[in-house]
Chain A
Amino acid sequence: DGGITQSPKYLFRKEGQNVTLSCEQNLNHDAMYWYRQDPGQGLRLIYYSQIVNDFQKGDIAEGYSVSREKKESFPLTVTSAQKNPTAFYLCASNTRQGRYGYTFGSGTRLTVV
């Protein structure tokens, strides 16, 4: 069953902690993306990667880090430097040509406690 799997579904973080959100896809897509979804602000791009071992900052990369060691995996770390991390995080993948639209994961809701 092809798709994208995000885990965990819910994550609670204490202030000052780093947390890592997992994103795995078996669609053989080259490109992967992390978005943050906040009410009234739509989806904002955090980081994206078009090929293994390479990634680019999106519009709101500060306080986040990523890695792309495998084609299937694109984990996102929310660091303690991210001032307002409570949000819904969406991972997506796509072909590099981008003509067919993204496939999205089911999301991770991160709450700082």
Chain B
Amino acid sequence: AQRVTQPEKLLSVFKGAPVELKCNYSYSGSPELFWYVQYSRQRLQLLLRHISRESIKGFTADLNKGETSFHLKKPFAQEEDSAMYYCALSGARPSPDKLIFGTGTRLQVFP
């Protein structure tokens, strides 16, 4: 069965420190992986997709098929990065558009 695991409910760092939000998945096919972010009082929005290999707001994530991981990283955290982060997986047939979410990690960045 497809599954996304985010082992940390809460991650607290100081401004300027590196950040790594962990995401592991179980899926036998070729997954498509996403990170979504929910800032306080805002709607859930797409942060980045593994297929585009992009960097958004200084965040990057690399798909490691050997370790079945898609960790989200940022070298220097900012206070405005404080938010709820969700890792998600899609691509499972018969509904490749359906997203499976992890339980989320709350990132707190202290000044």
- Number of interchain pairs (Cβ within 8 Å): 59
Pair B97/A97 contact, Cβ less than 8 Å: yes
Pair B98/A45 contact, Cβ less than 8 Å: yes
Q: Which of A48, A56, A96, A98 has the most CB of B within 10 A?
A: A98
In angstroms, Cα B29 to Cα A63, docked, is 32
Pair B98/A42 contact, Cβ less than 8 Å: no
Pair B44/A104 contact, Cβ less than 8 Å: yes
User: What's the nearest-Cβ distance from chain A to residue B85, in Å?
Assistant: 11
Does A75 sit within 8 A of B, measured CB to CB?
no
In angstroms, Cα B104 to Cα A31, docked, is 24
Does B96 sit within 8 A of A, measured CB to CB?
yes
Q: Which residues does B use to contact A, with CB under 8 Å?
A: 6, 9, 32, 34, 36, 43-46, 49, 51, 86, 90-91, 95-104
Q: Which residues does A use to contact B, with CB under 8 Å?
A: 31, 33, 35, 40-45, 48, 50, 56, 90, 92, 94-107
Ordered nearest first, which 8 A-B pairs have the shortest CB separation?
A98-B97, A42-B103, A101-B46, A43-B101, A104-B44, A106-B43, A42-B101, A98-B90
